């Protein structure tokens, strides 16, 4: 079975582990994780994220975007730079990412910054529409607001709500809008009952797998940087939750991932 890790921060992982991108990608490939998407978080790492893909073009696509957790640092000039890079993108830039909303961290949720988060989200959704790209979305304690923006934006290529945690109703609303649900390490924790129940009930065609490496450690590996190889631990948990066979699950998720994030890369 082969897998596509649809949400990673390989540039940060390489730094944490003191490994090169080709080394990291080779290790992932050996474990069956043959494709990876690397997402940016701020303008400062646009170049590094682009380089990750250039160093491993057979395996790595990437997305550029401004993450809501760093909303204080983002400027209008960063948005201009993002627009410019998207206009001049290569075939391996297949998403606007990582963008979204963060309501779980007080420091970025003052009235002023919450408003700025929404302004930057709206601007980046407009760029995704302009350049006909899907989005890779961050959403913590903000699913209701995010759904309103997605409904308004009407993106032809939609995208994924990554590392989803939440209720079936919240997930279903994204799915009804055409979005996929990113299944990450959360479901490996028995205590995450609500999210596990959500992932169990959603249509298989709406699911993607991801690690968010080096973040979101899976159960049993807490305290260590998360790695693309650990996608298989999450896959194992997913298979325990679902009624389909592991082969069926892997095949369906592979097809969905390819269609969303690899179709243009070639
Ligand atoms: Zn992320």
Orientation of helix 143-153 relative to helix 168-176, angle to 10°: 10
Check whether the bond before 214 is cis (ω within 30° of 0): yes
Q: What is the pLDDT of residues 132-179, one digit of tens each?
A: 999 999 999 999 999 999 999 999 999 999 999 999 999 999 999 999
- Dist. CA 110 → ligand 1 center (Å): 22
Please provide the average confidence, as pLDDT, over all residues in the chain.
Answer: 97
162 C-alpha to center of ligand 1: Å? 8
| Cα–ligand 1 centroid distance for 99 (angstroms) | 9
> Residue 77: enclosing H or E segment and its boundaries?
helix 76-87
Give the model confidence (pLDDT) of 96-112 as tens digits: 999 999 999 999 999 99
Report CA(177)–ligand 1 centroid distance (Å): 22
Q: How many Å lie between the centroid of ligand 1 and the Cα of residue 138?
A: 7
Q: How far is the CA of 209 from the centre of ligand 1 (A)?
A: 13
Residue with tokens 């978080």: 41
Q: How many A from CA of 169 to the centre of ligand 1?
A: 23
Q: Is the pLDDT of residue 265 over 90?
A: no
Q: Is the pLDDT of residue 258 over 80?
A: yes
d(C-alpha 232, C-alpha 33), whole Å: 9
Q: Are 121 and 97 in contact (CB under 8 A)?
A: no
For residue 96, the CA-to-ligand 1 centroid distance in Å is: 12
Calculate how far, in angstroms, residue 39's C-alpha sits from the geometric centre of ligand 1: 7
For residue 264, is pLDDT > 80? no
How does residue 266 score in pLDDT terms, banded at 50, 70 and 90?
low
pLDDT tens-digit readout, 46-57: 999 999 999 999
Output the pLDDT for position 263.
Answer: 82
Which tens digit of pLDDT belongs to each residue from 183-240? 999 999 999 999 999 999 999 999 999 999 999 989 999 999 999 999 999 999 999 9
- The residues pairing with 39 across neighbouring beta strands, listed in sequence order, are 63
d(CA 28, CA 194): 30
Distance of CA 80 to the CA centre of its chain: 22
Taking the model in full, what pTM does it have?
A: 0.97
Q: How far is the CA of 228 from the centre of ligand 1 (A)?
A: 13
Dist. CA 101 → ligand 1 center (Å): 12
> How remote is the CA of residue 66 from the centroid of ligand 1, in Å?
11
Ligand 1 center–CA 9 separation, angstroms: 6
Distance 178 CA to ligand 1 centre (A): 21
Handedness of CA 200, 206, 209, 210 (dihedral sign): negative
As a residue count, the chain comes to 266
Q: Are 202 and 172 in contact (CB under 8 A)?
A: yes
**First-last CA distance in the chain:** 20
Q: Encoding tokens for residue 125?
A: 């959704």
Separation of CA 216 and ligand 1 centre (Å): 9
- Going from the Cα of 92 to the center of ligand 1, the distance in angstroms, rounded, reads 18
Percent of the chain with pLDDT over 70: 100
> Measured in angstroms, how far is the CA atom of residue 8 from the centroid of ligand 1?
6
For 48-52, 73-77, 91-95, 215-219, which range has the lowest pLDDT when averaged over its residues?
215-219
């Amino acid at each position: 079975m082969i897998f596509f890790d649809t949400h990673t921060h390989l540039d940060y992982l390489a730094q944490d582990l003191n490994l090169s991108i080709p080394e990291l990608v080779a290790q992932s490939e050996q474990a069956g994780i043959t494709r990876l998407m690397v997402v940016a978080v701020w303008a400062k790492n646009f170049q590094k994220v682009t380089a990750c893909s250039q160093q491993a073009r057979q395996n790595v696509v990437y997305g550029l975007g401004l993450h809501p957790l760093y909303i204080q640092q983002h400027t209008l000039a960063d948005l201009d730079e993002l627009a410019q890079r998207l206009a001049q993108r290569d075939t391996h830039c297949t998403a606007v990412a990582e963008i979204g909303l963060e309501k779980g961290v007080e420091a970025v949720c003052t009235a002023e910054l919450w408003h700025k988060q929404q302004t930057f989200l709206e601007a980046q959704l407009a760029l995704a529409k302009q350049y006909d790209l899907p989005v890779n979305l961050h959403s913590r304690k903000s699913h209701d607001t995010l759904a309103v923006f997605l409904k308004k934006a009407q993106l032809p290529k939609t995208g994924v709500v990554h590392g989803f945690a939440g209720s079936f109703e919240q997930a279903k609303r994204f799915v009804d809008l055409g979005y996929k649900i990113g299944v990450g390490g959360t479901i490996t924790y028995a205590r995450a009952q609500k999210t596990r129940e959500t992932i169990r009930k959603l249509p298989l065609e709406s699911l993607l797998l991801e690690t968010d490496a080096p973040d979101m450690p899976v159960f049993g590996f807490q305290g260590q940087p998360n790695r693309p190889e650990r996608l298989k631990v999450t896959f194992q948990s997913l298979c325990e939750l679902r009624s389909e066979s592991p082969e069926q699950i892997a095949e369906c998720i592979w097809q969905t991932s390819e269609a969303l994030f690899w179709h243009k890369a070639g």
